[in-house]
Structures are given as structure tokens and as C-alpha cells.
């Protein structure tokens, strides 16, 4: 039963292919047509052929543009990520710089404190040793 079904399918598929192969044939003027259908002039057939190619091309172009758009969107989000990283880093650096530098008066105060501490240390050492 299975073998019979396979054979039938094979015959049908071959017959189908042959029927398709003769869908478009060349006819000379005055020659009788082997089957009823539509007769086109060479110019019209060329136009239809071009329109078919155009349709195929537009499909491929559309696919390419869609891919390009996806890639560009991907690039946009990656660039955003880069900007965010750089901004975060910039903020951290600014904070560290602000915390390290201090004002002019603050520096003067630290310098004076250093001078005072050294004087006290020297004075104290002298006092103890004498």
C-alpha cells in the first residue's frame, strides 16, 4: 500500500513538472497553439518580465532596508550606552576633582596648620630635651 502511494505521488509530481515546463512556449506567426491561453507581443512580454524583476528587487530592497534600519537602531542604542558610560565617568571625575582641590582659603588654612604643628613639635622637643 505504501509502495503504491509513493509510486502514484512520483508519477503525479513528474506530470506536474512537465505541465509547468510547457506553460510558456514560443509560437511562430501562423503556427497553431497547442493549448488555449494568452498571447502576448514581445514588447508586452518584456514589460511584464521587467515588472516581475522589479517586484523581486523591491522585495529584496525592502528586506535590506529593514536590516539596515535594525542595525542603525542597534548602533544608536550602543552609542547611547557609550555616552552614558562617559557621562558617569565624567561626573565621578568632577566629584573627585572637587573633593581634592578645595578652595584657596582652605589651602592657606592647611598650610598655616602645618606651620603651627611643626613649630609646636620643635618647641615641645626642645622643651623635653632641655
Partner 1 sequence: MKKMWGWIVGAFSVLLGLFFYERSSRKKAESINKLNKLNTDLSLIQKDIDANNKELGIEQVSIQKQKDLLEKASREKLSNEDIADFINRRK
**113 touches partner 1 (CB under 8 A):** no
Please say whether the beta carbons of 48 and 56 come within 8 A.
no
DSSP string for residues in 19-41: HHHTSS----TTPPPSS------
**68 touches partner 1 (CB under 8 A):** yes
Please say whether the beta carbons of 64 and 58 come within 8 A.
no
Of residues 1, 5, 26, 39, which one binds partner 1 by CB under 8 A?
26
Please say whether the beta carbons of 37 and 28 come within 8 A.
no
Grid coordinates in use for 66?
A: 529593514
Least distance in Å: CB of 48 to partner 1? 9
Stretch that binds partner 1, among 6-14, 31-39, 75-83, 105-113 (CB under 8 A): 75-83
Stretch that binds partner 1, among 6-14, 31-39, 41-49, 102-110 (CB under 8 A): 41-49
**31 touches partner 1 (CB under 8 A):** no
Amino acid at each position: 500500500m505504501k509502495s503504491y502511494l509513493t509510486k502514484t505521488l512520483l508519477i503525479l509530481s513528474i506530470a506536474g513538472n512537465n505541465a509547468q515546463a510547457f506553460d510558456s512556449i514560443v509560437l511562430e506567426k501562423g503556427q497553431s497553439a497547442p493549448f488555449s491561453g494568452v498571447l502576448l507581443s514581445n514588447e508586452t512580454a518584456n514589460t511584464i518580465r521587467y515588472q516581475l524583476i522589479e517586484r523581486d528587487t523591491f522585495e529584496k530592497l525592502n528586506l535590506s532596508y529593514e536590516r539596515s534600519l535594525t542595525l542603525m537602531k542597534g548602533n544608536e542604542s550602543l552609542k547611547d550606552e557609550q555616552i552614558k558610560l562617559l557621562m558617569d565617568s565624567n561626573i565621578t571625575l568632577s566629584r573627585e576633582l572637587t573633593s581634592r582641590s578645595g578652595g584657596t582659603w582652605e589651602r592657606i588654612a592647611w598650610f598655616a596648620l602645618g606651620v603651627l604643628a611643626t613649630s609646636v613639635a620643635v618647641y615641645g622637643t626642645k622643651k623635653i630635651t632641655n
